[in-house]
Chain A
Amino acid sequence: MTHRSAKFYLSRIMTQTETLQAAPVTVLQSGAEVLLRALKDQGVEVIFGYPGGAVLPIYDAIFQQNAIRHILVRHEQAAVHAAEGYARSTGRVGCVLVTSGPGATNAVTGLVDALMDSIPIVCLTGQVPTHLIGNDAFQEADTTGITRPATKHNYLVKKSEDLARVVHEAFYVARSGRPGPVVIDLPKDILINKAPYSEKPETPHRSYRPQTAPDAGQIAKAVALLKGARRPVIYTGGGVINAGDRATAALIKLVRKTGFPTTSTLMGLGAYPSNDPLFLGMLGMHGTYEANLAMHGCDVMLNVGARFDDRVTGRLNAFSPDSRKIHIDIDPSSINKNVPVEVPIIADATYALEALCDAWDADDAKPHTADLASWWAEIEVWRAVKCLKFTQTTAKGGIIKPQHAIQRLYDITRENEAKTGQQTYISTEVGQHQMWAAQYFRFDQPNRWMTSGGLGTMGYGLPAAMGVQIAHPEALCIDIAGEASILMNIQEMATLAQYRLPVKVFILNNRYMGMVRQWQELLHGSRYSESYSEALPDFVKLADAFHGVGMRATSVDELDDVIRAMIAEPRAVIAEICVDETENCYPMIPSGAAHNDMILGPEHGTALQNGRAAGLTDEGLVLV
């Protein structure tokens, strides 16, 4: 038998496989090393994680390299939210590493959050060794079972030779099509045993190939509808942000070209500049009067990357009853799910919007300019209602309206941006403060706004801001928070201290779970069951205890100074803004009501009828 060198075999393997995919590398390393190498090849620079028994081999490998930075969070839920903040503010895939059992179960809330808001995340979970799976071993949980409905896809790696391929595939799945979270469950023996490495595959995925290019026929139909529109509206969502800067540019081009009124969902804020006169503000439950009435009265609606969520549509059978609808979405299951549409376009928003721009130009039909002008005149009447107006006393010692606090935060961060060039990124927790932030903080760029839209996760904002600050060390990262939400992940103040992350926590403290209190007032006869924030910590001392800086504003004359001091402070800050406890978030479409049943605030003379808000029905009461 002739003895052939390893090189000979290697070259044979190379030529055989080159046609299929990139050459496999046959050097054997431990599974943990292979994992890190695959992460590095996928462009991962930061992992948010928390160690534990099952992932010790990965932590050992992390210790011995410098390419990937690990950020130690204080709770696994926060690791996922931090990765979401990182992903949402950069357009890249966020990476998480947690241990088995409780590590994985703690991460579940973050995963569902990322699933609902279509944020690309790869979450590595430790698992007990393969021979112990199913034995109720210490810190064992059926992670793939638990996370199946919490992720876009998940994997359990059972064979070392699958490891590298699975990691590459997970990143592909997380970022392609409609992005989402992907879990890779890694038994400890797989991490310790030697595993072969394979490069990123060049071949397309065998089953998952989302359609990204729009159908030309559908684009033509859409343009025909848009050209014929007399009362059009463009309604954009988080899909435009996910599609990236090209999509945002194409959206701006299309809106300017057509002169159509444009509104955005909570998740889509920033895709179109908020200060532009063609922008009507956010739509939906706490959207502006003009945006919702435009949606209600339009004759042609172009939805780009939004999903007709119940917060947006209100009562479905009264939603935009007279419009013909065009829906661009990368996810076919979003089409006709809640609202039947006439022209579905399955595509990446970038390609669809660019195609619409081109087709609009190529089409000879003239738009109905005169009708559009009278439609705008109608909208201007609604806009003149000034649904977001509020009255802030300027007297010394006067109580701060939460809207005013956000308004000033916005103004002063803009001043700061103009003066220093420092970019501002905003995250929020969930509740009234979140809606006020969406209404009064005006975004004119994408990826600057991190909020938990679909799942509505209290405790999202602080870790998300942390992730943003990691991605943008020079930026001003502010978590607009409520005093209740912030306590849900307050432990992350320690992470801020450890990595010297100068995140600013801007708490609107109204001593209530404000949105709960508001619903109890409007829907449940003002019986404030369990919504009072009893026994709050002293937030100034709390900041101090976590090596940060605490500040407090209790009256309107102190507000600007606190905001300025907060921005100037190089350390992490908790700024507690004590605001009007009774303030409600308006305008509001009560659950189960139609867009034109919107309640305006007390500034516009809205009163409760029989202890209930107008427009509210018994059917609406069962809705969330």
Chain B
Amino acid sequence: MAYPPDLTVRSATIAVLVENEAGVLARVIGLFSGRGYNIDSLTVAPVEGDGGRSRINIVTSGTPMVIEQIKSQLDRLVPVHRVSDLTQDGPHIAREMALVKVIGAGNHRAEALRLADAFRARVVDATTESFVFEMTGQTEKIDAFVDLMRPLGLAEVSRTGVAAIARGKRII
């Protein structure tokens, strides 16, 4: 690397395989807040059986040097098994799920339903005054859908954050 370092900010999706133990998420989050890194999205869930390992997917952004730092800082946490920068290491798939509540009546209701169909969102709850749509997709697709729902009575959004995985045979 040369000086001055590359200062372009890029987004990175980082997958972290951690020991499923108390406080591990706090360690990861504390690392980000303590060192001033961004968290755009974070998901965590166990991915192995009892007492096995959990996977944390983090979407963050920063200069190449910062992203490198984030990876090595994560990697040196004691309960961390592996860290992979999915954005850098090759093609990957990133998805999130959203539950979107729209309240309204008349034309707005019909339009919301039509758009939901176009976006392949499923109706998972309906009353005479409301819908809850479930949709899965890339972050941008969900952003677009939520924006479209705004004038149609968008009341509440619940999103999971990004789950990501590498394409092909490559594993973390």
Contacts and interface: CB of A to CB of B under 8 A. Distances in A.
A173 B77 CA distance: 10
B80 A207 contact: yes
A341 interface: yes
Interface in A324-340: 331-333, 335-337, 339-340
A152 B69 contact: no
B23 interface: yes
B118 interface: no
B78 A207 contact: yes
A333 B72 contact: yes
B171 interface: no
Given A148-B27, A340-B5, A335 B72 contact: yes
Interface in B3-30: 3-5, 18-19, 22-23, 26-27, 30
Contact of B81 (A145, A207, A336, A342): A207
A237 interface: no
Contact of B3 (A156, A207, A335, A340): A340
Given A148-B23, A206-B19, A333-B72, A341 B78 contact: no
Main SS class of interface, B: mixed
Nearest to B65: A336
A332 B75 contact: yes
Contacts of B76: 177-178, 210, 331-333
Question: Chain B: interface residue count, which band?
Answer: 20 to 34
B34 interface: yes
Interface string A196-222: 000000000011101000000000000
B144 interface: no
Contact of A337 (B26, B69, B77): B69
Contacts of B88: none
Contacts of A339: 3
A152 B78 contact: yes
B79 interface: yes
B78 A208 contact: yes
Nearest to A344: B1
Contacts of A207: 18-19, 78-81
Contacts of A178: 76
Given A149-B34, A333-B69, A333-B72, A340 B2 contact: yes
Interface in A136-173: 144-145, 148-149, 152-154, 156, 158, 173
A321 interface: yes
Contacts of B19: 206-207
Interface of B: 1-5, 18-19, 22-23, 26-27, 30, 34, 65, 68-69, 72-73, 75-81
8 contacts: A149-B30, A153-B78, A206-B19, A210-B76, A331-B76, A333-B69, A333-B73, A333-B76
